[in-house]
Amino acid sequence: MTERDTTRLLAWSTELRTVHQRLRDAFGVAQQAVRDGKHAEKAGRDLLLYCHGFCAALDGHHRGEDRALFPAIEKAHPDLGPTLRALERDHSMIGHLLSGLRDALDRAAPPVELERHLEGVAAIMENHFRYEERQLLTVLESLQLHAAVGDVLGPL
């Protein structure tokens, strides 16, 4: 194994943490848009702008994990199958919550309702990120996966 290979292997754990932090930051911007919106129309319009980017990024991140990262992990570590299935269920639940948020935005729901949707997404997303990092970061430090970061962790 070359030094470049070692750097790439170690980088997968760093990349995952970096992507999670970028998603947390983007989500914080979306939450602030609702808090700053005095009127339902402004809050919804601002959140729609921020949510479009955040929702697309989070969806892309989870699709990349499901399509590329998790199969590679399971091939190298079959014992992690149950953990990966739990993470995939989280992805589905988060997708459902994001769909509810998008629906609320489309019908110009009041800020208090938008904030409830965001709180639900935040709770599941943060719990998911922490669990994923606890379970997978060590594995990612030795995972041999030769693919573009955007294909594996989403286009951020």
Measured at the alpha carbon of residue 25, what is the angle toward residues 121 and 57, in degrees to the nearest 5?
A: 65
Judged by average pLDDT, the poorest of 2-6, 109-113, 142-146 is 2-6
Q: Is the dihedral of CA 76, 74, 69, 21 positive or negative?
A: negative
- Residue at 86: amino acid letter: A
48-61 residues labelled b (16+ CB within 10 A) or e (exposed): bebbeebbebbbbb
Write down the pTM of the prediction: 0.80
Asked whether the predicted pLDDT for residue 130 surpasses 90, the reply is yes
The pLDDT score that the predictor gives to residue 15 is 83
Higher pLDDT, 97 or 55: 97
Give, as one character, the DSSP assignment of residue 80. Answer: G
The pLDDT score that the predictor gives to residue 1 is 44
Higher pLDDT, 83 or 41: 83
Distance of alpha carbon 44 from the chain centroid = 22
Higher pLDDT, 92 or 144: 92
Q: In 3D, which of 89, 124, 111, 96 has the Cα closest to residue 34? A: 111
Residues 116-143, mean pLDDT to the nearest whole number = 90
